[in-house]
Structure 1
Amino acid sequence: MLVLNPGFYEPPSLMAFLRNAAPLVVLAIGQYFVIVSGEFDLSVGSLVGAQVVIAAKLINGEEDRTWPVIALMIGFGLLVGLVNGLVTTLLRVPSFITTLGTMLVLYGAIRLWTGGAPTGALSETFRQWGRMGIDMPVLRQLPYALLIMVALAVVGILVMRSSYGRVLVATGDNDTAATFAGGRVWIVRTGAFVLSALFATVAGILVGGFAGVTAQVGQGMEFTAITAVVLGGVLLGGGRGWIVGAIAGALTYQLLERLLVQLDMPSTLNPTIQGVIIIAAVAFAANQSRMRRGSRTTAPQTPAEPQPVGAA
């Protein structure tokens, strides 16, 4: 990157990169909670798009509506996460199917509500979180999105260092063992979906800072977030991976996209890269699972005690 764009590591350019990467990083942190628990959340991309469209239609350019609408967005996001979690844990519907259904429901409901053409406008107070920042001498501007990203990363690290985080990882590794150890698996996993939806809502607020209010907002972000998480070394299937790795994976993926732009590669190549990374991650996860099962079933053989010569 330094060879292709020598000015990339200059403070203003680096701040712009981190500002643009913030929504994906926030989304990846939320996706991490679900994946490390052994589940998937395919609804976050549609949730991001739905939140932006809802905000634009309800705010409609009125500044005084901004904060009530943001509060409504947070409540809506928590509700979506709670439904995903309860359907997955209590009704025993696989999370892949649950969140795929939620993705389609959100996609269709928003288009039905808006008539297929999103209307309204976001206020400047709403947009500032994704596009503005604090003016500074050297950096030129410290983006609000970067500050929000760092704050949520700290929150995520603290969550994973708590007893909840330890049970979450244990649940992804072996939910039966976690249950026998006294962990409330269904509550822990439901909480992971709620956190994922909450972080997706924040990502939607940040995306609203620079994206237009269109039907394509958030489209495909769920797969990008999953790709970023597995790129950071988080094991699909749960039980392995560090939240800092998920953050690093999101930044790496964003950097990879920037590199493709510098190389004049078509943006249509991005889904191919995502597919290769996900297939490799699934293959690695399957291999790790076989190795763990093998290590548990193969017990060391105790050598037979030698018999005295001539013993009957």
Structure 2
Amino acid sequence: MMDRLKQMNPVFLVLLLLFVAIAILSPYFLQPTGYMNFLKRAAPIAILAVGQLYVINSGGFDLSAGALVTLTVIGSSILLDGEASATWWVILAMLGVGVTVGTVNALVVSWLRVPSIIATLGMMITLSGIALTWSGGAPRGYLPENFRFFGRFLIKDLPLIKILPVAVIVMIVVCALLWWLMHRTNYGKRLIAMGDNPKAALLAGVPLTQTRIVAFAMSSISAVIAGILLGGFAGVSTDVGVGLELQAITAAVIGGAQLLGGRGTVGATIAGALVLQAMFTLLNILGFPKPVRDVVQGLILISAVVIAGYRRRRSGG
């Protein structure tokens, strides 16, 4: 029993402690509407973090994810402008943009040998520029109700849980598919092998470029889906995705993902996203302003990276 506890990822214990603290300070959290609304708010960052995990496990970073979230919201609102009948083709178009962005990121890294942090930083600036130019720097257009359905609709009058946000269903489905692809397919094995040692993986016959393309595509598709949910939550905003890429990286690292070298798991990354959201919730309950939240997020990221590096040195990895 003790051995199992020692082997358990500490992120789950931290999450439990945060839940207890929130419940003590705000008993509403223990009610079905309380924890379901918490999961609803956490859904976009959880999806974004799991997508980011694919790139981290490949040995890189994707700093363009937040800008792609913004472009998804702004682009969808302008293309739709309240026209509900166009919702599905606009969603498909945005997913196509996500695949294109991910593919370009991967090809720049693979073919031009540009470090992923530089390549995706350039893509982030490009996407932000496109979004601001397209919108004129201010919210434009309108998101119809059937587009906002994914982010704001609640299934009500259910037994036990009473309500079930559609955003939570989207999170479960997307994260389950990404878990299956990473942990139950040969692709996932190739991804981890590439992240651990690219040269050895290449010698073993792993197609590095194709593997990297899928990883970056999963990250970009996740960003588009997160953007759709966030557009449903709060409507159109020109800064909706600002900083989300760092939150996603932080969540993955909290979950135990090793930067620049594989070995992260989807389940622990989701727990890391919930820890981050729980931390923000706790700070809000305690009345701390947003700048304090940013400081705490930065300290968490630095601490998690230091701890991960220490563990890796001890294990000889």
User: TM > 0.5 between the two?
Assistant: yes
For the pair 1:276 / 2:296, whether they are aligned, the reply is: no
Which structure features the higher share of helix residues? 2
Are the aligned partners of 2:257 and 2:263 in contact in 1 as well (CA < 8 Å)?
A: yes
CA distance in 2, matches of 1:208, 1:41: 21
Q: CA deviation at 1:289?
A: 5.0
Are the aligned partners of 2:66 and 2:243 in contact in 1 as well (CA < 8 Å)?
A: yes
The amino acid of 2:271's aligned partner reads A
Are the aligned partners of 2:46 and 2:274 in contact in 1 as well (CA < 8 Å)?
A: yes
Deviations 1:56-81 (A, max 9, x none): 00100111111111111111111111
CA distance in 1, matches of 2:273, 2:312: 25
What are the equivalent positions in structure 2 for 1:157-196 lying under 5 Å apart? 157-160=179-182, 161-196=184-219
TM-score, normalised relative to structure 1:
0.91
CA distance in 2, matches of 1:180, 1:290: 25
For the pair 1:133 / 2:131, whether they are aligned, the reply is: no
Q: CA deviation at 1:262?
A: 0.8
For the pair 1:144 / 2:166, whether they are aligned, the reply is: yes
What are the equivalent positions in structure 2 for 1:58-77 lying under 5 Å apart? 58-77=79-98
**Structure 1 gap ranges (5+):** 297-312
Equivalent in 67, 90, 97 of residue 118 of structure 2: 97
Aligned length: 294
CA distance in 2, matches of 1:4, 1:157: 34
TM-score, normalised relative to structure 2:
0.89
Are the aligned partners of 1:235 and 1:281 in contact in 2 as well (CA < 8 Å)?
A: no
Q: How many percent identity over aligned positions? A: 45
CA RMSD between the two structures? 1.4
The amino acid of 2:273's aligned partner reads A
Q: CA deviation at 1:249?
A: 0.2
Question: Residue 3 of structure 1 corresponds to which residue in structure 2?
Answer: 24
CA distance in 2, matches of 1:214, 1:151: 26
Deviations 1:81-137 (A, max 9, x none): 110111011111000000000100011111112221121000000001000032233
**Structure 2 gap ranges (5+):** 1-21
Question: Residue 260 of structure 1 corresponds to which residue in structure 2?
Answer: 283
Question: Residue 300 of structure 1 corresponds to which residue in structure 2?
Answer: none
CA distance in 1, matches of 2:175, 2:134: 34
Q: CA deviation at 1:252?
A: 0.8
CA distance in 1, matches of 2:308, 2:28: 38
CA distance in 2, matches of 1:100, 1:80: 12
